[in-house]
Chains A and B, each alone.
Chain A
Amino acid sequence: MAAGVATWLPFARAAAVGWLPLAKKTMPKPPVDKKSRNDEILIVNVSGLRFQTWKNTLDRYPDTLLGSSEKEFFYNEDTQEYFFDRDPEMFRHILNFYRTGKLHYPRQECIQAFDEELAFYGIVPDIIGDCCMEEYRDRKKENQERLSEDTEAEMATDTPLPPNSTPRERLWRAFENPHTSTMALVFYYVTGFFIAVSVIANVVETVPCRPIKGSVKDLPCGEKYSVAFFCLDTACVLIFTFEYLMRLFAAPNRCKFMRSVMSVIDVVAIMPYYIGLVMPENEDVSGAFVTLRVFRVFRIFKFSRHSQGLRILGYTLKSCASELGFLLFSLTMAIIIFATVMFYAEKGTKGTNFTSIPAAFWYTIVTMTTLGYGDMVPNTIAGKIFGSICSLSGVLVIALPVPVIVSNFSRIYHQNQRADKMRAQQKVRLARIRLAKKGTTNAFLRYKEEGGLQDHDSDSAALCLKNRSSFEHQHHHLLHCLEKTTNHEFTDELTYSEMCMTESVGYRTSRSTSLSSQQAVSSSCCPRRAKRRAIRLANSTVSVSRGSVQELDTLQVQKSSIGPQSRSSLNARTEDLKLNCEQRDYTAAIISIPTPPANTPDESLPPSPAVPGILRNSRTTSYTQEAVKISSL
């Protein structure tokens, strides 16, 4: 839940008075806040630098170190202050986060040191404000790249394929990432080699070789060694065709692949050969065939699969298309104007080259781009004057858009980078919000099932729930009031769907009994399924658990434990260790739970059997088994 919202909670609770006349049941008692309610100034001593702040400020973010009871571990009784042996300069930023709600990244600090401080104080880096987020991400990426360059030499593999991928998927991967397998790499280099060979052959076959004996004329090499070149061409085209067909076969979406630029280039590169094969040896048609051979030069574009730089260039050209288009358009306008003027200026001259306006286009282009071939020159004075104006304006017209285009290149390039980053960040933010929402709902459900709903008279029960912040108490009380108002209770998605199922089948038995019976059956004959099901149950209320593999015994009772939640979840959930309120003796053996020893099984079973709401939460199987004994719904 977002932080500053904590300050609005009292008001939301006060507004709950509006529900009272409607309520079907009596409202529950509110939690008693034993802690002193007066706001006080806390002194936080960070390596000698004393910071002072209101207690409420720190309480805004209850799932961080300073906002939770964890700071009590750092409390120094003698000096009556909280002492942290950390960097005081960094702490300034951390404290500003509490004050303003925005975390800023200090640019002069090392990114890793900053990350470590955040981790220590339990603050998620994702909440860095927009103003500093980009800088933070850039630095972090830079740092990571630098680090990964060292480790890249060791592991030169990409992410491993999913274990059961079809050969087609593997083939596609091999094409897209040649570094994944040796075969792919070999193929990659072979095709690259053949592209180079083909291009060189195309170039060389037009070079004049020494004439064959008996002839005077210089022959191009292509005609002299036509058989050799033909064989070379055939070999290249065979390889290219094979490659294209393989790609087509492996592509996950063939239609899309066929429309992609690279595949079009591939087709254009190999088509002339096949057309040449089927073309008859006709005189006039072979002229067209020769033109087609020009397309063979497109084979050089196949290199763009091999070169990242070419791809980037192509992309940036595409994104600057409008600027280039504008340049072209303005040039065209200028050309037309000047060509017209030159034509009419030179019209009278005898034997002039400016035979028509389109003929004058060539002169204008050559002059404006300051080439000046000299094949067309004006003779009249008016022509010369206009010619000089033309060349001057040419410099301007061309020189002006070019820097704009260049700056557009860099701007658009960086903009695209930023847009991608922003999109990724947005996704992360949305995911975090969703996670936080789920976290709060789960927290309340867990709170209910742990017996938080009864009046806390016993000390043991109070001790159990001690770790929960007063904010949590109050929020859960508010939700509880809503439940009483509507006479319905909150559940989670799983139990709801199960309820729907059991209702539809028409079982009259209690949910818990049905659930436990299912469990019993499955646990005896299908241990794996029980394990998966129980893990699913466990996971449905635990959003972040540190990878604790929970193997469940196939015998009766299992204990499940929740790993200490990483503080990096921005939920106002209580994570942490729960004290073992009531020890029950379970007969099952505990299978090794490979989680850190800080785990304690939490078993707070409901002391009173009569509350139906608690049995509903299907978190642990042991839970429901006990429930069978106790109650009957």
Chain B
Amino acid sequence: MSACAKRCKHGLVKFAVSVHKLVTGTLIKDKVDDDLEMTMVCHRPEGLDQLEAQTNFSKRELQVLYRGFKNECPSGVVNEETFKQIYSQFFPHGDASTYAHYLFNAFDSAHTGSIKFEDFVTALSILLRGSTREKLQWTFNLYDINRDGYINKEEMTDIVRAIYDMMGKYTYPVLKTDAPKQHVDTFFQKMDKNRDGVVTLDEFILSCQEDENIMRSLQLFENVI
């Protein structure tokens, strides 16, 4: 019965609206689309030579990277929404938006809200051609969400949960709800040397350098470009 009443009410509202339109004489039915095209923020990167000097890429590699970047973002900048969409496409199983958010902040070191080509290339240079220490420092910055120089358990849990979200629902073995938490506990046991509840950059780098699995894996990503 309530559905009927709702429908009646809806009908009355529609009638009142139409009477109002009648009186005010709206002849135009479609709403004016005043979605003016916002002035395209166009950004041109610094010169090729400068970028070559600043990063560890060669000119050719920079050219390849820029062509891809420019094709995706003709305006020269990536905002967070686009970034999330792009990143989510690589992980169709689950929800990659949270992790993409953290990743975006890690790339956008200046916190401008958009990634320019220079940010993009700088980060890639560190990740692919940087020294071990630089790579680990980048990773530390990724985990340290609030950039206070310490990783505490909450930040780590957020990151780990975001990573587990990317796995989606259909996994083997079945994902238990406390899996992220367990993972974080294991991590802290390994990394937090002085057991003060937070991990500093030095603790982090030291622990990673002791773990040869991590060291070996770091070398794997050299030839990505």
Contacts of B214 in A (CB 8 A): 20-21, 23
Q: Which of B91, B139, B172 contacts A499 (CB 8 A)?
A: B172
- The answer to whether B86 touches A5 (Cβ under 8 A) is yes
Please, how many residues of chain A have a CB less than 8 angstroms from a CB on the other chain?
Answer: 71
CA distance A488 to B150 in the complex (A): 28
Task: State the majority secondary structure of interface residues on B.
Answer: helix
- The answer to whether B89 touches A1 (Cβ under 8 A) is yes
Indicate whether A192 reaches chain B with its CB closer than 8 angstroms. no
CA distance A18 to B160 in the complex (A): 11
Decide yes or no: A23 and B213 within 8 Å by CB, A5-B86, A322-B22 being known contacts: yes
CA distance A408 to B26 in the complex (A): 12
Indicate whether B59 reaches chain A with its CB closer than 8 angstroms. no
Indicate whether A589 reaches chain B with its CB closer than 8 angstroms. no
Indicate whether B201 reaches chain A with its CB closer than 8 angstroms. no
Residues of chain A from 12 to 54 with CB closer than 8 A to chain B in the complex? 12-27, 29-30, 33, 38-39, 54
- The answer to whether A13 touches B213 (Cβ under 8 A) is no
- The answer to whether A54 touches B138 (Cβ under 8 A) is no
CA distance A5 to B68 in the complex (A): 9
Q: Which of B22, B103, B159, B175 contacts A329 (CB 8 A)?
A: B22
Decide yes or no: A7 and B25 within 8 Å by CB, A17-B221, A479-B91, A490-B168 being known contacts: no
Contacts of A27 in B (CB 8 A): 216-217, 220
CA distance A488 to B23 in the complex (A): 65
Contacts of A488 in B (CB 8 A): 164, 167, 171-173, 175, 179
Indicate whether A56 reaches chain B with its CB closer than 8 angstroms. yes
Contacts of B208 in A (CB 8 A): 20-21
Decide yes or no: A8 and B204 within 8 Å by CB, A26-B217, A493-B170 being known contacts: no
Task: Give 1 or 0 for each of B191-217: 1 = CB within 8 Å of chain A CB.
Answer: 100000000000010011000011011
- The answer to whether A490 touches B124 (Cβ under 8 A) is no
- The answer to whether A613 touches B172 (Cβ under 8 A) is yes
Q: Which of A7, A20, A496 contacts B71 (CB 8 A)?
A: A7
Interface centre among A10, A330, A492, A503 (most CB of B within 10 A): A10
Contacts of A64 in B (CB 8 A): none
Residues of chain B from 149 to 205 with CB closer than 8 A to chain A in the complex? 159-160, 163-164, 166-175, 179, 183, 186-187, 191, 204
- The answer to whether A322 touches B29 (Cβ under 8 A) is yes
Indicate whether A486 reaches chain B with its CB closer than 8 angstroms. yes
B26 closest partner in A (C-beta): A322
Contacts of A5 in B (CB 8 A): 72, 86, 89-90
Write the nearest CB–CB distance from A534 to chain B, whole angstroms: 20
A488 closest partner in B (C-beta): B171
Q: Which of A12, A21, A101, A491 contacts B90 (CB 8 A)?
A: A12
- The answer to whether A404 touches B27 (Cβ under 8 A) is yes
- The answer to whether B29 touches A486 (Cβ under 8 A) is no
Interface centre among A16, A27, A408 (most CB of B within 10 A): A27
Contacts of A88 in B (CB 8 A): none
Contacts of A591 in B (CB 8 A): none
- The answer to whether A325 touches B172 (Cβ under 8 A) is no
Q: Which of B30, B124, B183 contacts A11 (CB 8 A)?
A: B124
Indicate whether B60 reaches chain A with its CB closer than 8 angstroms. yes
Indicate whether B77 reaches chain A with its CB closer than 8 angstroms. no
Decide yes or no: A14 and B171 within 8 Å by CB, A21-B204, A21-B214, A27-B220 being known contacts: no
Interface centre among A8, A30, A495 (most CB of B within 10 A): A8
Further 14 A-B residue pairs, CB within 8 A, beyond A11-B123, A20-B139, A326-B27: A14-B225, A17-B138, A19-B163, A20-B214, A22-B159, A26-B216, A30-B221, A322-B22, A437-B92, A438-B92, A483-B167, A488-B167, A491-B170, A496-B172
Q: List 29 A-B contacts (CB under 8 A).
A: A1-B90, A4-B71, A5-B72, A7-B72, A8-B87, A10-B224, A12-B90, A14-B123, A15-B103, A16-B221, A19-B163, A20-B214, A22-B163, A22-B187, A26-B217, A27-B217, A33-B223, A322-B22, A323-B27, A326-B25, A326-B27, A412-B29, A437-B92, A482-B163, A488-B175, A490-B168, A490-B172, A496-B170, A616-B172
Q: Please provide the 5 A-B residue pairs with the shortest distance between their CB atoms, ordered closest to farther.
A: A7-B68, A27-B217, A14-B127, A496-B170, A437-B92
**Residues on B facing A (Cβ under 8 Å):** 18, 21-23, 25-27, 29-30, 60, 63-65, 67-69, 71-72, 86-87, 89-93, 103, 106-107, 120, 123-124, 127-128, 135-136, 138-139, 142-143, 159-160, 163-164, 166-175, 179, 183, 186-187, 191, 204, 207-208, 213-214, 216-218, 220-221, 223-225
